[in-house]
Every structure is written in C-alpha cells, then in structure tokens.
Structure 1
Amino acid sequence: MKYIFAICITALLNFGVFAQNKTTTHKVSKGETIAEIAKKYNVTTTSIYQLNPDAQAGLKPNSVLLIPSAAAKKTNVSAAKVTNTIVTHEVLPKETLYGIEKKYGITDDALKQANPFLEQDGLQIGQTLTIPSNKIKKITSDKPEKAEKAVYHYVLPKETKYSIAKQYGISIEELERKNPEVVTNLPEGFKLLVKGKAVPTTIIASEAKKESTASTSIKIVLTTNYTVKPKETLYGLSKMTGLTQAELIALNPFLSDGVVEGMVLKVPATPATTVENKKEYTDLTKTNTTNKKKLALLLPFNIAKIESDTVTSTAMRLKKDKFLNMTLDFYAGALMAIDSAKVLGLNIDVAIFDSQETKNSSAIASLIKENNLQDSDVVIGPFYQSNVEKTAELLTQNQVPVISPLSKDQGVSYANIFQSIPSPDAVKNAVFTYMRSKGGNMIAVVDKKKGSVIEYIQQNHKDVKFSMLTATGGVSAENLKSLFVKDKINYVVMETANTAMIKATIATMLSAMATYKVQLVILEPNETLDTAEVIMENLAKLNLMYPSVARENESAEAQIFKKEFKIKNNVSPTDFATRGFDVTFDTMMRLSQGKKYQETVENSATEQVDNKFEFYKKIDGGYANKGIYILYYDTDLTVKEAK
C-alpha cells in the first residue's frame, strides 16, 4: 500500500511539471522497452520515467504508462535567476541537492556554505538558494547541448549486461565498447558509462575525488528496506546511511526524480563504506554513585486479570500460563540483580510496575503519566515489541532509553529503543563472519524445502558454494566432497530437518576427515539433531558449530549465581531468570558510571552471566545488540565458545 501511495504522490508532483502539456497513455506490449516507447512518441526516456517512476523496476505487459506530449520533452524551465553577480535558484518539486549541484557544477560543501540552513532544514520546495557564482563551472541554459550528457550506472547485485543494456535501450556491444573493463566480467558496484562521453579528467579536483570514491566504494553486501519518513531529504538519507547521494541513487534509481514520503528504499544493513569497530568488553567495575539514578521496570504481571478470575486457581494458572511463568522468572532474576546492586552500594532507585499488557493493549500511557516515568534514567520493558515502541514514543521527547528485554521483532524504530536480543539475521550473519575470519571454505547443504534459507544465503553470502542435491532431494556425497579444499577448514552449513539428509551429510564429512579439515555448522536450533537417530558423538567429532545469543556458562561466578538463586527461590534459574538478571544488572552497572546510559553503550560492551551486550546504532533509529556467541561441540561432548 505504501508503494502505491509513493507512486501516486510522485505522479501528482510530476503532473505539476507537465501541467501545461497534455499527456497520453500507452499500453505496454510484451517485450517492449522504454527506449522503444520513447522513440515511438518522440520523447525522452527520462520524461517517461518522471511520470512513471515505478517503470524503473521494469515493464510489465499490459501495464499502462503516462506519455508526455512531444512538447513536454523540454524539461523543467530552469529556476535560476541572475541578479547582478548573484545567482539564485528556486527549488522545484522533486529536485535534489545532488541534482542542483550537478546542474551548476558546484560541490556539496560550496552549496551548503552559501546556504547554511540546508544543514539543519534540508532541501524544501520553494526555497531560494544562493548559488556561489565563483564556483560555477558553467552557466546552464534551456538550450540543449550539442554533446550528449554522460550517463552512468552503478552495477547492482544480480544485474547482467543484458538487463542493463535493455534498461537504457542500447546493445551489449555498445555497453562493452564504452566500458572495455567489463568485457570479461561485470563487477558488482562498477561505475558503467551507458550514454554520452566520459567526463574529462580536467574536472575540478574535489569533484574528481568524489567521483573516484563513488565508483569504488559502493560495495553493498547486506541491504534492508527503509521507508522514507515525512520531510526527509536525499541529503539527510545520505548522512543516515553513510553513502554518498550518488551511491544512494545507484541503489535506488527512482531517487533521481526526488525523495517522496512513503518510498521504500534499499539501504545497507550497516554502512557498507565503513567497518564497524568492535567495542572493547569491560566489566564496568569502577562506579560513580554520587548522583542517584532512577530505573523503572515494566513487567506484564496482569494482576487485575488474575484477581478477576474466580474460576482458575493460582496453582492452575501457574501450571498452564507460560507467559506468566516467563514473567515471574524474569522478575526473580531482576530481583537478584537489584539485591546485588545494593551489596555493591549502587545509588539507584528501582520502581517496578505492572504493565498489564497483552499483544494489543497495555497500561503504558497511564503508568507513564501517573508515575512521572519521563523522569527515569532508563526503562526496562515492556515485553511485547508493540508496547516497547509505544513506551519509546511517549518517552522520546525526554530521551529516556527504553530497553526491549525479550522481543526479537523489528517494528518501528525510535532513537531511544535498545533492542537487547540480537535479530535473527544478525545471529546468522555472525557465524558467517566468524568462518570468513578463519579463512574457511564455506559450503551449504540446504533442503529444497528451506527456500528462505537458500534465498538468504544467495543474497547475503555470495561466497558460499551450494552442494548439489540428487534428483530425489538427497545429499550427493560425490558433489559435496568435490567442493572440499585442502589446507583450509571446510565449513559445511547444513539446514534441513530431514533425518536421512542429516545422516548422509554427517557420513560424507566423517569419511572425508582423513583428507580434509571439516566442521559441521547450523544457523539455528535443529530439533532433529536431538533425536536418538543422530549420534551425538558424531556431532562432537565434527565439532558442530552454531551461533547463539546466550552461552552455557560453567565459570565460578556463574555457579555462585545459580547457587544463590536456588537458595532464594528453591529452583534453579531458567533461561528467562538468567536473562532477567543479566539485563537488569547490566543496566544498573551502566547507570553507575557517572554518564548517561547512551554514552556507556557507545563506548563499551559488557558480558554478564549468559548474555553479551554490544550495542550499535541502527541506520533507521535506535540500537541493536550484536553480542553473539559462536559455540561448538568439543570432542569431550561439552559446549565451548569458539575463539
């Protein structure tokens, strides 16, 4: 629906451009290209794309295009005015900073220096910009240039010479003639010249540097979707993603027509032009307890609901209600953390509230208002992601950090949300990063039924080889062995719930151990591996490796925690109880550093009993935890952390 809305808005904006020129419609025939249609109506391909931005993704037979009249070939009348020696430009609908800078041949820095308000407000329709005339390479006019303007295209994942040539209405031979470097290979991110002549090397040095950077740094491996918010600009999106405006347009060609609210853009899952610096892990033992801090926990006890239920006894409810059990376990762990903080003398006031939440409702708004939670230093909870987002929205004005303690969901991102559970994709990516760090040869054995896993690996980890399956969908032992490489560790990523397929993969790997270094890898928990048909000793021989958000900690400190918890609660701590302790204790230790919670997150990572907290800022707002363990089965049948 958002996509349709974006198209409608773009079409309305375009209508203003062509208001004085009538349009006609064209029904697309099978095999037709934009270039052919443009030639038929004696218009430019750009003018068709302006009226039909969705056509950038390809033409569908029987779809209808808006075609400008031949008179509409003349694009927007220049909004530049020259008064004495001052050049000004009135911003038109759909114009971008990138386009204006290219129009006048000036740099981004020069334009912003002449118009300081752009840094804060971004580009707005109707603004009058001062164009630094001493920086202009040439004054543009409405008369067409004799030489065809150079048009470049940045190669995106999965694109081919055929698809690119077809998109621009040229032949593959012409594409190769203009770009002899791609005759034998088409590298992802390569800057192709598709029309006109290449820009001479005598261009301004600063722009040459910018062009060089753009042509070599756009190496996007992981992308995610981002929906454009109201009043966002190309400049702002560029700053947020860490890409240049040219790189953003290369990933999303329709951006060349302007930024429109509701557009869904491809952006890097992490800024692709920089490498994240791993944070140093510290125990935060040095504390500063001078200023008292306020911590609020919003936990879904739903006491009112329990009290109003006169039919179900408390014992019966505890036996059947898994959500209540999870809440009470988390609460018991949190109380252990609060007691530990008291022993350490931490100067923190802790308030615990019943969030009275279900997936679709909660008492969050009234709790915040009645208890002045906007004055809190940190809020932990609620449990449901939708309620976490509601809490963050209500507290965003006061910049109160809101920690999501248990949810893996990804919804609306607010700047003050701290997602303490790593996302499923982050967990899977962590094990691939580890395998690459060891220089491993990665091979995937994936069941045909696991289509989403196949797609995930193909899109995000192109260096992984897929082992061929037999006609019946089984493992081809011969093909799998042919993919092994000597003098490297061969990681076999196995994703299947089929027992026969698992046993065949294991047998093939065991038979190859005399010649090759091999290790079995899974991306997520696999219940089939826990059945009697799969021999545990074989998994240990292959050092079964997997990513996890929590570890199995047998250290002396962990044993003390488990012992103290059992003394206090008469049961051993569950995973939820340990997480309640880890999240709460970690938060309290960060609050005791004499800094804001956000500052401690930016500067340090921590490790508690079973969980790591290594937060990074997300490009769409908020923070994500990338504290992930890579675990493996050792030959003594114990689970250890891979280093």
Structure 2
Amino acid sequence: MKQYFIVFLSVFLISFSGQAQENVKHIVAKGETITQIAQKYNVTPLDIYTLNPDARNGVKEKTVLLIPSKNKIVKIPNKETKSTVVATRETKSHVVLPKETPYGLAKQYGITLADLENANPEIKEVGLKIGQTLVIPGSKNGKVEAPKEVTKKEERKAEREEKKAEKEAKKEDKAEVKTAETNLVYEVVPKDTKYSISKRYGISIEELEKTNPSIKTDSLKIGQKLVIKSSTAKADPVQKQETAKETPKQETPNGDYTTYLVKPKETLYSLSRQFGLSQNGLVALNPELETGVREGMTLKVPKTVAIASSSDKNFTDLTKSISKKDRKELVLLLPFNVSKITNDTTSNIQTRLKKDNFLNMTLDFYSGALVAIDSAKTLGLNIDVKIFDSQENKASSAISSAFVESNLSKADVVVGPFYQSHAEKTAQFLNQRNIPVISPLSKDNSMVYSNLYQTMPTSETLKGAMFDYLNQKNANLIAIVDPKKGSIKKYISSNHPNVKMADYTVESMKGLLAKDRMNYVIMETENTFMIKNIITALVSAKASYQVQLVILEPNDKLESDEISISNLAKLNLLYASVTRENETPEAAIFSKVYKKKNNIFPNQYATRGFDVTFDAMLRLSQEKSFEETIFDNATEQVENKFNYTKNPAGGYSNRGVYILYYDESLSVKEAK
C-alpha cells in the first residue's frame, strides 16, 4: 500500500512552498549551479526547485533563490484525504548510463516512475541523456507514512500505470538494442587518431575508413561523428571504464569495492580523481561526504583505480596563478654526507671532489635548487625552505622514524632522498600524514606509496611516448631488431602489432617500405657494421621513399666516429628524451643567473635541481592543493616536463617526455 501512495504523494512535492520566514535568500554567483548551491546549504536540488520552479530552466548570475532551512520537515497537505503526511527531504543522485530507462531506474532504486519524473521533470520533456545527473527521491530509512484512506481503486489504477510504463520502457530498450545492432556513433575528441579509434573498437583503419569515407582524404575534426559498425566492433573499453566509474554496484559492496581511510589534506576533488569517480559518484557511495571530507573517515571505494590520461592536461604556467595566502614548508633531503668529510683536510676535500661523482652530482643539484629558491623569493612565494643532510649511500641513510618526526612532520612537500629505497622509506613514514615525497633522480620503483612522486620517466614511458607519436601519423612502421635485443622485439610484437618486423637483414627491411606514405624505420642494434649498412640503405632509399630513422633506446654507437652525423641528420633521427635544449629567453636567464653565482654554466644535474625544486614550489603556491595541481596541471620548466599520472598500485609517475629529431642543419629540434 505504501509504495503506491508514494506515487500519489510525489505530485504535491513540486507545488509546495514553505513559509517565507523559514527560508534563506541566496544570490547566484557567476558560474554557480543548482547542485553546488544545494551542497552549500546541505539541501537537495529538489528542495530548491520546489521553492523556485523557474530554476529548472537554469539560473543566471545575481538571480535570487529561496533556500529551505537545513533539515526542514515539510508538512504536505493531501488533497484527497485531507490528512497530513510527514516526509523528509533526503535524496540520492544518479548519473545516466547508456541504455538506462526511466522505468529501469525507478525499479533499481525501489521507487515509482512518477516519483522519478516529478523529481526530474525534464525526463517527460526530453527523456534521458547519457551523463545526465538525476535526483532520486526517497529517504535514508525509506519510511514515508501512508494514510489509510488510499482506496483499492487508486491502488489498481497505480498498478495499471506501472504496467503501462513497464511496457513502454521495454519498447524503448528493444529500440535501443536494435539501433546498437546496426551501428555505434563515436564523437571525435582532441588527440584522437584513426589508429587510436580503430584500436579502441577492435577494427582496422580500413574498416573505419570504409564506413566513414570522408576521413580517407580529410583529417579528423573534433566533434566529428563517426559510424562504427557493431558487427565488427568490440565494446569500447573506455565506455566500460566510465560505466565502472559512474555507477557503483551497490549490491556487491564487498566484491568490487574496498575501504579507504581519509588522510590529512585530502578533498572531495582529490579523492574523486584518485579513485576514478565523479564527485557525485563518490558521494553516492558515501553519503556522509555530503557534509564534507574529514580526516579519518572510512570510505567505500572501487578496488580498481581508473588511470587518468596524462594527455588530457594542458601545460600550464603556474607563475600566472600564484597564491600567497598560506605559509608552506618545503624540505630538501640531499646526500651531502658531511660526516664523512668533516675530518678531511683541504687537499683531501679537493681530491674527493675530483673522484666522488655522487658528491659532485649532489652539489650540482643543490646549486640548481638554490637558484630556484632565489627565483621563488623574487616572485614573493610564501614558502619556508629547510635543507637536511640525508647522509645516504646505497645501503643506508639518516632517515628514521625519529628523524622524520623531528624534521619532516610539518613539511608540505619533501624533495629527496636521491636513492629510491630511501625515498620510499621516507614516503612510508609520511604516508599517514599524506605529505608528498618527490623522488628527484631515480628511475627505479619497487614499493609504491600513495604520496610518492617519481619525477624521472622510465624507459617504458619513453618507448610508450614514442609509439604514441608514431601512431598518430598514420605511417608505415617497420622495425629491424638485433636478435640480441629479444626484450625489445617482444615489447614491440606484444604492444604494437601494427609494426612490420623485418628479418635482421637490410634486404628484408627495404622490402617492407611503402611508397604512398611516410616510413618510420625503428632500428635497435649496437652492431656498428649493421648500423652503417642500415643507414646507408635508408639514405639511398630517400630518393624514392619518405623515410625517417627511429631509435627506442639510447645508443652510444651512434656517437662514434664511424657513424656519419650528417647521414643521421639526413634521416632526421627521431628519439624520445627526458630533457630538451631550451633556447627560450627564460632558459637564457636561468643560465645567466647560474653562471653569475657559480662561474660555470649549469650541467644536467644543476638544471634538474632547479626544475624539480621550482616546480614543487610553484605547485605549493596555488589556491588548489598540491595533489590537485598534479591531477590538473602539466608543467614545463627549463629542460624538464612534469606531467604526472596516478599508478594503479599507488603513487604517481611523470610522463613528461620530449620527442626530438636531428634537423638537417645538425641541430636538435622538438617534433610536433
């Protein structure tokens, strides 16, 4: 009886307005939405729509809205029975997914179709739209008191309406399925290529072009609609991922989900990005978040974390958005190992500096960091900097729980130590405080912690960046790999089946060249004789083919006197690099300032010391949290990019890589 009365009751929820003196007036700010306003006053969008019916058509800046007082109990007069029903205004939200229908959602949440439509009037007008956020009416305890006066006749009428709605919904489902069996429609987004779209749907580029003839001759355009034939296409894995992110499986809380303890400084925004959910999706899983995020809260979150793409970030100049409001603390942990040299004479120190490469690297990094600190002072950044000797070698360091408690517990960011094992140990000690630890130089990582940031891109990242670049070009990809480099051959065949593998002969390689498009020839060998033969053959082939030479890993043999650098320039040798040569005015200023302080120009470690330290200080000096800048902003300093992606197991990796090539003028330039 109660469930049918809810249908009847929901009719009056929209038309009711409370006493004026019980409401609060709110003036809409620029860009503010009803959902944001509802969260601010701890009410639901339905509450606001009830008092402000015109708001359903959107709100403009400076509009005055009536907001019901918090946790207000509404008395709703029932026209039919003259009785009074007490209803609490507690709701949920739901993000619409493909193939969902109003009836199916009503059934999923144990409410009626009328409830859903009254809470979301746009459903009647335009139907459901994928990505639309719906208000799901109801209460936490699900109790709505029904009057005894509801008659059998009304109950039977409600039943008929429900069955009619169910039939209509089934017709809609069948129509959607029929359409899906005919084709899928995909909208092109930035950085899409024919290769990436065909790979996403498990079809060939030829099949994609056959269904969409216009893309054979024209390049893809953002927003362009492409038809994907479902008879050959597999399900879009990205779409599956979105489904997993936005619609938690409430019925299996212990199957697909786990618990997470909220750490200090975490926000709803950073948590939603960390677990691959929208903020509404995270709140739907954890209703207690409606009142704010608090340290120590236990949240229900997905076991698997969706990895955010690093390619969807814009490179940002953070000097343009500096906030000086809060005082921050940056700590540098550098391996000076002062205790080892305190008793040395001047001559012994000079000898040590000549022989101790690790100490020289430390001092270079430190000298670059000092320039970054001076630059921060010039900008007026509100940051205290502390520097400690980490006293580290490969086997040991000064890092201990006592050291961390005394020196690092109030830090906002820690840069160092240098050795990966000690950086991980530091991250472990600071993990509960959620203090970011930046590993400045190491490419290794074994133990992963959510607060550990790897600044050095790995060799796998470099190879991945190169193939991302090559696959955008719709070119002919050929690889000639030395049998001794079995791991490279396996990597290519496992991850990039579109690459044609040549036998380890020049003739085989030449036989795979295509005349109608660019040929990228990936050469992986350290055999000088073979390198010379491949280069000679490709230089000769340039008369008839478009050819460019590519390497995936650094190759010292290319720098030997036996290899002609002019031939490498003719073939525009293409490679991935962590750093680049920067000829901008800003880079020139850094070099000039550094030379004035140190009487020499900066080397790679000095420049990295500047880049890592300055980038950390700029991220600390924003309105956002440090972690939020990691999610939102890729940055570029003098020689290094910082474009972080969250790892599935925890922590963050830098995917900031340059694709460089030899220009025919023998200079090195960045490929676009």
TM-score tier after normalising by the smaller chain length: 0.5 to 0.7
Judge conservation of contact 2:448–2:650 (CA < 8 Å) in 1.
yes
Change (3 A) 1:393 1:110: farther
Pairwise CA distance, 1:237:
8.3
Pairwise CA distance, 1:451:
1.2
Q: Distance in 1 between matches of 2:110 and 2:391?
A: 50
Q: Which residue of 1 aligns with 2:315?
A: 281
Q: Distance in 2 between matches of 1:491 and 1:606?
A: 29
Indicate the larger mover: 360-369 or 509-518: 360-369
1:529 pairs with one of 533, 545, 558 = 558
1:235 pairs with one of 246, 256, 260 = 256
Note the 1:480-519 alignment, pairs <5 A.
480-519=509-548
Note the 1:38-77 alignment, pairs <5 A.
none
Judge conservation of contact 2:506–2:537 (CA < 8 Å) in 1.
no
Change (3 A) 1:598 1:188: same
Q: Distance in 1 between matches of 2:340 and 2:388?
A: 15
Residue identity in the other structure for 1:427: L
Q: Which residue of 1 aligns with 2:235?
A: 216
Pairwise CA distance, 1:369:
3.7
Pairwise CA distance, 1:381:
0.4
Matched, 1:360 2:395: yes
Q: Which residue of 2 aligns with 1:207?
A: none
Q: Distance in 1 between matches of 2:494 and 2:402?
A: 44
Q: Which residue of 2 aligns with 1:427?
A: 462
Change (3 A) 1:501 1:392: same
1:401 pairs with one of 436, 446, 454 = 436
Note the 1:133-144 alignment, pairs <5 A.
none
Q: Distance in 2 between matches of 1:480 and 1:580?
A: 43
Residue identity in the other structure for 1:429: G
Pairwise CA distance, 1:219:
9.4
Residue identity in the other structure for 2:256: Y
Structure 1 residue matching 2:336: 3-state secondary structure: coil
Pairwise CA distance, 1:277:
4.5
Deviations 1:480-509 (A, max 9, x none): 122111222111111111111111111111
4+ residue runs of structure 1 moved beyond 6 angstroms?
109-113, 237-243
Q: Distance in 1 between matches of 2:650 and 2:670?
A: 31
Judge conservation of contact 1:291–1:594 (CA < 8 Å) in 2.
no
Judge conservation of contact 1:383–1:404 (CA < 8 Å) in 2.
yes
Deviations 1:176-203 (A, max 9, x none): xxxxxxxxxxx989xxxxxxxxxxxxxx
Judge conservation of contact 1:389–1:417 (CA < 8 Å) in 2.
yes
Matched, 1:387 2:398: no
Deviations 1:317-360 (A, max 9, x none): 11111111100000000000001101111110000000011122
Q: Distance in 1 between matches of 2:344 and 2:396?
A: 19
Judge conservation of contact 2:310–2:655 (CA < 8 Å) in 1.
no
> Which has the larger Rg?
2
Pairwise CA distance, 1:382:
0.5
Q: Distance in 1 between matches of 2:560 and 2:344?
A: 40
Residue identity in the other structure for 2:468: T
Matched, 1:615 2:649: no
Structure 2 residue matching 1:588: 3-state secondary structure: helix
Change (3 A) 1:457 1:349: same
Structure 1 residue matching 2:552: 3-state secondary structure: coil
Q: Which residue of 2 aligns with 1:566?
A: 595
Q: Which residue of 2 aligns with 1:454?
A: 489
Matched, 1:540 2:545: no
Q: Which residue of 1 aligns with 2:633?
A: 604
Pairwise CA distance, 1:234:
5.1
Indicate the larger mover: 308-317 or 519-528: 308-317
Note the 1:344-359 alignment, pairs <5 A.
344-359=379-394
Change (3 A) 1:344 1:367: farther
Pairwise CA distance, 1:308:
4.9
Matched, 1:576 2:620: no
Q: Distance in 2 between matches of 1:599 and 1:241?
A: 13
Q: Distance in 2 between matches of 1:491 and 1:521?
A: 7
Residue identity in the other structure for 1:304: S
Matched, 1:378 2:407: no
Q: Distance in 2 between matches of 1:242 and 1:445?
A: 39
Pairwise CA distance, 1:556:
2.0
Q: Which residue of 1 aligns with 2:210?
A: none
Residue identity in the other structure for 1:295: L
Note the 1:191-210 alignment, pairs <5 A.
none
Q: Distance in 2 between matches of 1:237 and 1:457?
A: 36
Q: Distance in 2 between matches of 1:593 and 1:529?
A: 44
Matched, 1:299 2:320: no
TM-score, normalising length from structure 1? 0.58
Q: Distance in 2 between matches of 1:234 and 1:574?
A: 52
Judge conservation of contact 1:367–1:373 (CA < 8 Å) in 2.
no
Residue identity in the other structure for 1:384: Y
Q: Distance in 2 between matches of 1:432 and 1:112?
A: 49
Pairwise CA distance, 1:400:
0.3
Deviations 1:622-642 (A, max 9, x none): 111111000000000000000
Q: Distance in 2 between matches of 1:512 and 1:496?
A: 20
Change (3 A) 1:242 1:586: closer
Change (3 A) 1:283 1:242: closer
Matched, 1:331 2:366: yes
Change (3 A) 1:536 1:324: same
Matched, 1:316 2:345: no
Deviations 1:565-623 (A, max 9, x none): 11111111110000000000011111111221101111111100000001111111011
Structure 1 residue matching 2:400: 3-state secondary structure: helix
Structure 2 residue matching 1:442: 3-state secondary structure: strand
Q: Distance in 2 between matches of 1:355 and 1:236?
A: 39
Q: Which residue of 1 aligns with 2:446?
A: 411
Change (3 A) 1:508 1:367: farther
Pairwise CA distance, 1:307:
2.1
Q: Which residue of 1 aligns with 2:45?
A: none
Structure 1 residue matching 2:428: 3-state secondary structure: helix
Residue identity in the other structure for 2:493: Q
Change (3 A) 1:605 1:372: same
Q: Distance in 2 between matches of 1:506 and 1:237?
A: 55
Structure 2 residue matching 1:342: 3-state secondary structure: helix
Judge conservation of contact 2:367–2:609 (CA < 8 Å) in 1.
yes
Structure 2 residue matching 1:361: 3-state secondary structure: coil
Residue identity in the other structure for 2:436: P
Pairwise CA distance, 1:371:
2.9
Structure 2 residue matching 1:520: 3-state secondary structure: strand
Matched, 1:466 2:501: yes
Q: Which residue of 1 aligns with 2:152?
A: none
Matched, 1:476 2:506: yes
Judge conservation of contact 2:275–2:306 (CA < 8 Å) in 1.
yes
Deviations 1:35-62 (A, max 9, x none): xxxxxxxxxxxxxxxxxxxxxxxxxxxx
